């Protein structure tokens, strides 16, 4: 499955493991074993780099996604936050489906009955799985 691309999609995911390697004393992430055992409805926090018109560099936001399914290298999730750095649009907003790998996860929290139901419901903005 194609990963989000800054040029094609207007956003991408930052590598949480790389950030941890660069600053292990100040940038903490959950153990890999914990990042690999998330279930449908659990939450994962990811770092998004988002293109903002008129800005030289992408905006960076940390946002929660709800786990929808497992993949061989991670998960497919659904954005559970609204980004602050961009206006609401039809391509990237609350309910956007996206693939991500274990290396992208910077925090986790258990889901609830509500988040499990949201994970199993039709996704408002589906990820193009054909590419």
Q: Residues 69, 76: contact at Cβ < 8 Å? A: yes
Q: Residues 6, 12: contact at Cβ < 8 Å? A: yes
Distance, CA of 116 to CA of 88 (rounded, Å): 25
pLDDT on residue 92: 67
Element (H, E) at 70: strand 59-71
pLDDT on residue 103: 98
pLDDT on residue 54: 77
pLDDT on residue 1: 87
Reference 65, options 45, 83, 84, 51; nearest CA is: 45
* Residue pLDDT tens, the chain, 131 long: 899 998 888 889 999 999 999 999 999 999 999 999 999 999 999 999 988 777 788 888 999 999 999 999 999 999 998 777 665 555 667 888 999 999 999 999 999 999 999 999 999 989 988 76
Query: Which sequence spans correspond to the domains of the chain?
Result: 6-120
pLDDT on residue 42: 98
pTM, two decimals, is: 0.91
């Amino acid at each position: 499955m194609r990963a989000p691309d800054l040029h094609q999609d207007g956003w991408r995911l930052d590598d949480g493991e790389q950030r941890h390697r660069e600053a292990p004393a100040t940038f903490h992430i959950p153990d890999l074993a914990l990042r690999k055992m998330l279930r449908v409805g659990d939450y994962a926090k990811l770092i998004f780099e988002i293109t903002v018109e008129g800005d030289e560099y992408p905006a960076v936001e940390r946002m929660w996604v709800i786990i929808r399914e497992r993949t061989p290298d991670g998960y497919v999730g659904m954005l559970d936050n609204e980004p602050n750095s961009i206006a609401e649009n039809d391509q990237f907003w609350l309910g956007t489906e996206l693939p991500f790998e274990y290396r992208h996860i910077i925090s986790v929290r258990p889901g609830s009955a509500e988040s499990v139901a949201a994970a199993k419901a039709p996704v408002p903005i589906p990820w193009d799985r054909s590419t």
